[in-house]
Structure 1
Amino acid sequence: MIKERVEDGIVIITLSHGNTNSMTLDTLRQIDAIVKKVNEDDALKGIVLTGEGRFFSSGFHLPDFIGFQTYEETIAWFEEEEQLLINFFTCDKPVVSAINGHCAAAGLIWSCAADYRIAKNHPKISLGMSEIKIGLALSIAQAKVVRFALDSDRTYRNVMFFGEMMNPEKALEIGMVDELVEEDQLIERAKQVVTTWIDTPNRPFINIKKLMRQEAADAIRTRLENEPWREAFNCFLKPEVRGTLEFVQSMMDGKN
């Protein structure tokens, strides 16, 4: 599901699943184990998240969603996913997304959970949040993470409601990514950002990041505990949504 290596004290996580690097719950658990390791090991400076091949990630693994048989099974999946996303969002040390290719849906959500996003400068790469077009909304943690990453409610509105897939230049223009680099510079630039931020006396980055993100993380946890958010995920059992997911998956299978 992922490949892991350490370079210059930085953990490089490479999403590697099928042709589109779709993300299963096991993928997220593997990333979570690395987050815990990075938090606990002083020798590790941070994380770079990237993808293999032409995709960063197409999003969650649709066969998992299509396979939901009961409401309880669906809720259990998302309850765990929400906590794993919070853990990634609040990793103590720098996390940089090195977006090497197409990045959509959950791929974009997890990229937005990083502290900094660098995309490969290639006009054929597409980035965006197309969930609205297949009948899905975001969960509480997912929505807060994406909104945190964008610079205004207006930008968030447009990304979510239009569901537009855009090239890296447009993504840079609206603040979806922080910078563009050529392919051969992508990982090195991501590592440079991690090192620049963490390699200072006393590592104040850790406390600054906590202060910056704590309010958002607390708000997510409070809403998950107190709001009836689970009811919305009945959608995965609705025939029209399931049919759309099956159609999208069949289109993806046809391209493989």
Structure 2
Amino acid sequence: MLKETIQENIVILTLENGKTNAVNRETLEQLKAAVEKVNTDDTLKGIILTGAGRFFSSGFDLPMFLALEDHAAVCEFFDFEEQVLLDFFQCAKPVVCAMNGHAAAMGMILAMASDYRLVTDHPKVKLGMSEIKIGLPLSVTQTEVMRFGLNSDRAYRDVMYFGDMLDPNGALEKGWVDEVLPAEALMDRAKAIVTGWYDNPGHAFIPMKILQKKHAVAKIKAALADTTWQEGLHCFFDPTVRATLEFVQAAMG
């Protein structure tokens, strides 16, 4: 689930789902509602996305994936996920990700969809995208969000094709995150960024962000209109992919 609180006119969204804060359909539904709320309520300045416990988010809920019975069910889920991720990516107000712990897969994608990324300085925290090692390609919106967040086709190549997991300082060096901070400083810094960006004359941040992301959003919408991208979702029923997903699920408890 996604716990919502409001502090200093900022919506704080906390991923809370088991020990790894996996993302499921309920999480996406709550995220969609939160973005709509922030976009339409003039008293709200923006969003901070964080996690509970030792994880920011491990990504999608694997039991949910394994329970999808056929290609049509997978397509239905990703049709919804793609729209929610696009809505989050183009939220009109500032979105800061405060990664309190490990982030992988959809966890990293949500971070990249944010406007600014903070991460705890705990040396055991790992960040990355291991999809290639599992056998799952990214969808249309996920691909463009990652490409935009990494700001380079070469950086996208290195993140996605090598599938490495980095510690916070390594992620900072590669440009995956913007700041590495002590855990206790994350929320105050995130609030300062949201407020500092939003509280300018005329709320100039909003039109600036819309223009900044205009071409990426148009590219995503055009690609989603061509549903041939859904053919890649057949990979969910490849025996080796399912075996890998089951292994990862068992390892994570």
1:122 equivalent to 2:122? Answer yes
- Aligned residue for 1:202, secondary structure, equals helix
Q: CA RMSD in A?
A: 0.7
> Secondary structure in 1 aligned to 2:109?
helix
Is residue 35 of structure 1 aligned with residue 35 of structure 2?
A: yes
Unaligned runs of 5+ residues in structure 2 are none
**Per-residue Cα deviation, 1:84-139 (whole angstroms, up to 9, x for no partner):** 00000000100000000000000000110000001111111000000000001100
Tell me the distance in 2 between the aligned counterparts of 1:25 and 1:214: 27
1:211 equivalenced with 2:211 (yes/no): yes
1:132/1:160 contact within 8 Å kept:
yes
Q: Which residue of 2 aligns with 1:23?
A: 23
Instruction: Write the letter of the residue equivalent to 2:182.
Output: E
Residue-by-residue CA offset, 1:36-68 (whole Å, 9 max, x unaligned): 000000000000000000000000001111111
Structure 1 portions without partners, runs of 5+: none
1:240 maps onto 2:252 in alignment: no
Q: CA deviation at 1:26?
A: 1.1
Q: In the alignment, what sits opposite 1:65?
A: 65
Q: For residue 183 of structure 1, what is the aligned residue in structure 2?
A: 183
Aligned match of 1:96: 96
What does 1:9-20 align with in structure 2 at a 5 Å threshold? 9-20=9-20
Q: TM-score, normalised by structure 2?
A: 0.99
TM, length-normalised to structure 1: 0.98
**Identity rate of aligned residues, in percent?**
52
Match of 1:165 in 2: 165
Q: Which amino acid aligns with 1:140?
A: V
Deviation, 1:227, is 5.0
CA–CA separation in structure 1 for the residues paired with 2:150 and 2:235: 27
Indicate the SS of the match to 2:12. Answer: strand
Letter in 2 for 1:198: Y
- Structure 1 runs, 4 residues or longer, greater than 2 Å off: none
* Corresponding pairs, count: 253
Q: Whole-Å Cα distance in 2 between the matches of residues 223 and 156 of structure 1?
A: 18
CA drift of 1:151 comes to: 2.9
Secondary structure of residue in 1 paired with 2:124: coil
| Secondary structure of 1:91 counterpart | coil
Aligned partner of 1:124: which letter?
Answer: K
One-letter amino acid matched to 1:15: L
DSSP 3-state at the match of 2:60: coil
Aligned counterparts of 1:200 and 1:16: Cα–Cα separation in 2: 33
Shift of 1:70: 0.9
SS at match of 2:97: strand
Structure 1 residue matching 2:5: 3-state secondary structure: strand
Counterpart position of 1:4? 4
Give the C-alpha shift of residue 209 in structure 1: 0.2
Aligned partner of 2:107 in structure 1 is 107
